[in-house]
Structure 1
Amino acid sequence: MAAEKIPPGKPTSMESTMIDKGAKILQSLKPIKQMNQNICTFALYNHDMSRQIETHHYVSRVNQDFLQCAVYDSDDSTGRLIGVEYIVSDRIFENLSPDEQKLWHSHAYEVKSGLLVTPRVPEMLAKPELEILAKTYGKFWCTWQTDRGDKLPIGPPSLMMSPQGVNLGMVKPVLVTKRDDKYNIYSDALKVARVEIAEPEWINPQADYWRQHGKGFAVDVEESEMKLRAPFP
């Protein structure tokens, strides 16, 4: 199974292994060391709700209103880096433009439903963080579609969305059961235990755009003339 996750290429040489070990000792790797927790949840492709994946978000807390996450497809040593998610507080989100807000999803349902967990961290210790996350929004770009068997990161990134209820893209039970069995948890029990976690007073309708409009967003690549200065955004 582990071999199936390895991209095409020659085995790592002894020389490269020694270089890696030496660099680990000599270099600071400061950005990586800021990752302090693993959040496990599920995500759906914005353009195809039938495609659902388990995700592991390794979180760096920039400040109280902004988190940045390296997203892997598992927490095993063979886990593949499949994307990046940015998480902002509701206060930051309300200051984004309406067009930008369409690319973000809310986290309240993930938290309250028990889909979002902090593996191996007791629920009592995780609760303060869950209360914060319930009032945040995320923008998640998937750069490697390992769920369809891609051996390498192919094509443009895909925007991902959050599950938002039984009739609106709820995660397939088999995925939840597999995850729960691995960490010896029970999502339905977590849902009951999290009843008292306060939900946001208001979730901006521009987030979870697909819920209101039935439309997703897909990225395509177009050839264009090269310019000295590219427009932004």
Structure 2
Amino acid sequence: MSVTYASDGTGAEKNGNPPGKPLSVGQQILDKGAQMLQSFKPINQMSQHACTFALYSHDMTRQIETHHLVTRLNQDFLQAAVYDSDDSNARLIGVEYIISDTIFETLQPEEQKLWHSHAYEIKSGLWIHPRMPEMVVMPELKNLAKTYGKFWCTWQTDRGDKLPLGPPSLMMSPQSEGQGVVKSDLVKKRDDNYNISKDDMIKSRIEIPEPEWINPTADYWRQHNKCFEIAVESTEMKKLTEFP
């Protein structure tokens, strides 16, 4: 599902922003006041910026660069707001939850099918922490190589959607073969932007140990060639309990 919007005179269609009027002076003053007076504790706990790539489960030819602003709630659980860039006007396109292999093994098999592994993503230099020296982030990379993620995309900006349309899409992580291989032009664009080399990243991460076990129920498509896609269906509402 995709919608084309007529011009609203703001230039939103040209720069990819959603349709709408520019911020008024009054709104800008209100926002500045809120920043000074209100608490933003959850956002202030975001401690990492990771850049990587994701593939749509239902159409893995569609691949996107993603920027994850990560909060670590404990050693086994992370949560990330996912954006389509690291610019000030970046669009929030989804959310990812990341869990350790220990927690993953406690999940039911049907739930495990929705998750993807991170080992290849880390070892191959696709997952990076922009502007952070490799030696500084190496302990975190070693931890992440043993994790699993569940990423729901809520705004498909790559197909030109000016608004978040339709149901969320389950995203998959890059892999070393088949449909999971990330397009080289996407990687080159990212590497050029940050003045890095994926090949250099691979060399620097060669000593990151491979996980002893990657549960085959994750990355479900690899063994079963099947995907998961959400469809919106009309259903009867549950009736409210009558009060006595």
The interval holding the TM-score normalised by the smaller chain is over 0.9
Does structure 2 retain, via aligned residues, the 8 Å contact 1:140–1:160? Answer: yes
Match of residue 25, structure 2, among 1, 14, 18: 14
What is the CA distance between 1:166 and its match in structure 2? 3.5
- In the other structure, the counterpart of 1:141 is 152
Percent sequence identity over aligned pairs: 69
1:184 maps to 2:184: no
Moved over 6 A (4+): none
Matched residue type, 1:89: S
1:64-143 to 2 correspondence within 5 Å? 64-143=75-154
- Taking structure 1 as the reference length, the TM-score comes to 0.96
What is the CA distance between 1:45 and its match in structure 2? 0.1
Matched residue type, 1:65: D
Does structure 2 retain, via aligned residues, the 8 Å contact 1:55–1:72? Answer: yes
Superposition RMSD on alpha carbons, in Å?
A: 1.3
In 1, Cα distance between equivalents of 2:142 and 2:179: 23
What is the CA distance between 1:48 and its match in structure 2? 0.4
Matched residue type, 1:147: D
Larger C-alpha radius of gyration, 1 or 2? Answer: 2
Count of aligned residue pairs for this structure pair: 229
Q: Deviations over 1:109-149 (max 9, x none)?
A: 00000000000000110111000000000000000000000
- In the other structure, the counterpart of 1:53 is 64
In 2, Cα distance between equivalents of 1:166 and 1:68: 27
- In the other structure, the counterpart of 1:62 is 73
Secondary structure, aligned partner of 1:55: strand
What is the CA distance between 1:5 and its match in structure 2? 2.4
- Taking structure 2 as the reference length, the TM-score comes to 0.92
- In the other structure, the counterpart of 1:42 is 53
In 1, Cα distance between equivalents of 2:179 and 2:143: 24
Matched residue type, 1:50: T
In 2, Cα distance between equivalents of 1:78 and 1:23: 19
Secondary structure, aligned partner of 1:201: coil
Match of residue 39, structure 2, among 28, 46, 63: 28
Does structure 1 retain, via aligned residues, the 8 Å contact 2:61–2:179? Answer: no
In 1, Cα distance between equivalents of 2:169 and 2:59: 10
1:225 maps to 2:225: no
Does structure 1 retain, via aligned residues, the 8 Å contact 2:154–2:164? Answer: yes
Structure 1 residue runs of 5 or longer lacking an equivalent are none
What is the CA distance between 1:186 and its match in structure 2? 0.3
In 2, Cα distance between equivalents of 1:99 and 1:128: 31
1:166 maps to 2:174: no
Structure 2 residue runs of 5 or longer lacking an equivalent are 1-10
In 1, Cα distance between equivalents of 2:16 and 2:179: 31
In 2, Cα distance between equivalents of 1:183 and 1:125: 17
Does structure 2 retain, via aligned residues, the 8 Å contact 1:5–1:78? Answer: no
Matched residue type, 1:222: E
In 1, Cα distance between equivalents of 2:99 and 2:184: 29
